[in-house]
């Protein structure tokens, strides 16, 4: 009996050490694997405790295992791109580099030219692409 508890404790310590080295965002899959192993160990301990008639420990271990299993499966919402701040018409024209008498075709051409460089897939940033999009939207809505 003592060796089983020692084995369960070793698995739990290993999983906790593994969890301590993981970050929340990067390598989220490793956290899930470690949490699954730890919750399995908790469930095994609950079964062992129930077979020995120690109901309080069995219920506690099963509850902890269930909570850990559920929490390891919860996915956090993906971070959203920051909302572009409200631009004035002058700021929007300055961003796109168009004059006050620019047509819709001029605005679209300037937007395409800038997005070819500002898009995150082309080496730009999400913030810059959002500002270029906000400038185009501001000028085309008027």
Domain ranges of the chain: 2-73, 89-141
Give the Cα-Cα-Cα angle 29, 31, 36 (nearest 5 degrees). Answer: 95
| Torsion sign over Cα 12, 16, 17, 22 | positive
User: Is 62 strand, coil or helix?
Assistant: helix
Is the model's pLDDT at 109 over the cut of 90? yes
Class of domain 89-141: mainly alpha
Which of 4-8, 21-25, 118-122 ranks highest by mean pLDDT? Answer: 118-122
Is the model's pLDDT at 97 over the cut of 70? yes
Long-range contacts at 23-28 (CB < 8 A, ≥ 24 apart): 24/76
Is the model's pLDDT at 81 over the cut of 50? no
pLDDT band at residue 70 under the 50/70/90 scheme: confident
Which of 11-20, 62-71, 75-84, 124-133 has the least mean pLDDT? 75-84
- Reading phi first (left if > 0) and then psi (alpha if -120 to 50, else beta), residue 94 is in alpha
Give, as one character, the DSSP assignment of residue 97.
T
The whole-chain average pLDDT of the chain stands at 78
The CA distances from residue 23 to 19, 31, 44, 47, 70, in Å, are 8, 8, 27, 31, 18
Six token digits for residue 125: 């940033």
Which tops the pLDDT comparison, 14 or 62? 62
């Amino acid at each position: 009996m003592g060796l089983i508890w020692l084995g369960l404790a070793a698995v739990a310590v290993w999983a906790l050490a593994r969890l301590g080295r993981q970050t929340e965002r990067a390598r989220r899959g490793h956290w899930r694997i470690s949490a699954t192993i730890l919750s399995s160990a908790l469930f095994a301990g609950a079964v062992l405790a129930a077979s020995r008639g120690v109901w309080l420990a069995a219920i506690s271990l099963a509850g902890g295992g269930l909570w850990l299993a559920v929490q390891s499966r919860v996915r956090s919402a993906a971070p959203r791109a920051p909302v572009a701040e409200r631009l004035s018409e002058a700021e929007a024209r300055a961003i796109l580099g168009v004059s006050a008498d620019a047509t819709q075709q001029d605005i679209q051409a300037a937007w395409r030219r800038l997005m070819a460089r500002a898009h995150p897939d082309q080496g730009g940033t999400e913030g810059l692409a959002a500002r270029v999009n906000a400038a185009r939207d501001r000028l085309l809505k008027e």
